[in-house]
Amino acid sequence: MAKAAPVSPLAPKSIPEIPPIEGVRFAAGEAGVRYKGRTDVMLALLDEGSRVAGVFTKSKCSSAPVDWCRARVGSGKARAVLVNSGNANAFTGKAGKDAVKLSAKLAAAAAGVPERQVFLASTGVIGEPLDASKFEPVLPKLVAKAEPEGWLEAARAIMTTDTYPKLSTRTAKIDGIETRIAGFAKGAGMIAPDMATMLAFVFTDAAIGSEALQTLLSRSVRGSFNAITVDSDTSTSDTLLLFATGAAARRGAPEIERASDRRLAEFRAALDEVLLDLAHQVVKDGEGARKFVEIIVDGAENDRAAKRIALSIANSPLVKTAIAGEDANWGRVVMAVGKAGEQADRDRLSIWFGDVRVAYKGLRDPSYDEAAVSEIMKRPEIKLRVDLALGAGSSTVWTCDLTKEYVAINGDYRS
């Protein structure tokens, strides 16, 4: 079994305690997918009538579980979620398709729910067949012991190179009735989402129709999971599923079918907070990460251009290694801006590290203070801002530094 990595120095000081959400229960166990003696399978059971929305990787080499979920999320109905770690069931051909079919069949039989309402996700090594028969003896036990308080065990079961479980929760009132939102995610490497993150599962007791739920989710990922990057690599398995059990309706919460309904304002903000919190935790657990970096680009031609420039900076190995070395090398930032393919004017460009302006109008800032910038670069969390002075476009993305540990982790990932 692989040796566990030390917990990231950027990890939250404590793991939030997640209160039960009516209508969902969790259980985790050991199926021996890749390693012995490791919890590697999670099952979530949802009450009848639960709704689902999802966003998935845009990779052209998507995994078999992603294909399975994408084909079924349109129904809007869900009763169970089965997730395994250790094997991504990606690039596995017909064997991968057979594995998801068997997984859904076994989960449906154990839980007594329709196969078409079972959602699947897998994470781990790519290119190795998944032996789904290993789930058969485990699933009935998971169904029997599933409980509303099983959040932490579920979050731990889906970890791969993660060094800590990632959970978040908020409350929001809908028409005066309190509802809950909570979720967990996994991800540390192969993080440059083009929809969501590696794996994330969010649950609410709100009574929201599947179409409205899908709209809310698709909007919310733009400023959260689609605004993070660890290493510029988009996974074959990216899956974010949002489930609404509707249980709050029994407490008087309205049943809402339109995402534009004004009564959803507080809920929408709370969902944004949960997704952004989880996304930030993924970056803070970036493989080998020692610095959490916020990159703000202002003054671009438009928001799309600002986003491309921000990601160009965030994904630059030279920028990221400079940050790892606590070197405010703004020349590398200029390089990343220039190569992004968007409108930029060297002689209008300004750059800040923290609150210190290091470059102004194409030159080193005349009041540049090396000592002040050096102190900023020693911080575990660093803000880097660029102003192109061309227009009103702006964007913010989050990333981490690139260290020798990242190479070490990925150099022996399959061993």
Q: Would you name the residues annotated as active-site residues?
A: 197
According to the annotation, is 410 in a ligand binding site? yes
Q: Are the CB atoms for 396 and 295 separated by under 8 Å?
A: yes
Strands annotated E in 177-234: 177-186, 199-204
Which residue type sits at 359?
Answer: A
Beta-sheet pairing, 350-353 with 356-360:
antiparallel
Reported for 324-327, long-range contacts at CB under 8 A and 24+ positions apart, including other chains, are: 324/290, 324/291, 324/401, 324/402, 324/403, 326/374, 326/377, 326/378, 327/377
Q: Report the distance separating Cα 296 and Cα 21, nearest Å.
A: 36
The residue type at 49:
G
Q: CB–CB of 250/157 below 8 Å?
A: no
Is 186 annotated to bind a ligand? Reply is: yes
Asked if 63 contacts 96 with a C-beta cutoff of 8 angstroms, the reply is: yes
- The values of phi and psi at residue 159, to 5°, are -75, 145
Determine whether the annotation assigns residue 415 to a binding site. yes
What is the CA 378 to chain-centroid distance, rounded? 27
The DSSP 8-state label assigned to residue 2 in this structure reads P
Q: How far apart are CA 219 and CA 224, in angstroms?
A: 10
Structure tokens given for 91? 């690039």
- Both tokens of 332, joined, read 């590398």
**Closest CA relative to residue 197, chosen from 238, 230, 156:** 238
- Decide: residue 135, CB within 10 A, 0-12 exposed, 13-18 middle, 19+ buried: buried
The answer to whether 145 is annotated as binding is no
Helix (H) or strand (E) holding 155: helix 151-157
18 φ, ψ (degrees, to nearest 5): -95, 120
CA angle 108, 111, 112 (to 5 degrees): 75
Q: What is the CA radius of gyration of the chain?
A: 22
Q: How far is CA 199 from CA 152, 184, 202, 222, 235, in A?
A: 15, 9, 10, 16, 10
Tokens 């440059």, residue? 192
Question: Is 160 marked as binding a ligand?
Answer: yes
Question: Coil, strand, or helix at residue 125?
Answer: strand
Q: How far apart are CA 85 and CA 97, in angstroms?
A: 17
- Binding site per annotation, positions: 160, 186, 197, 287, 410, 415
- Binding site per annotation, positions for substrate: 160, 186, 197, 287, 410, 415
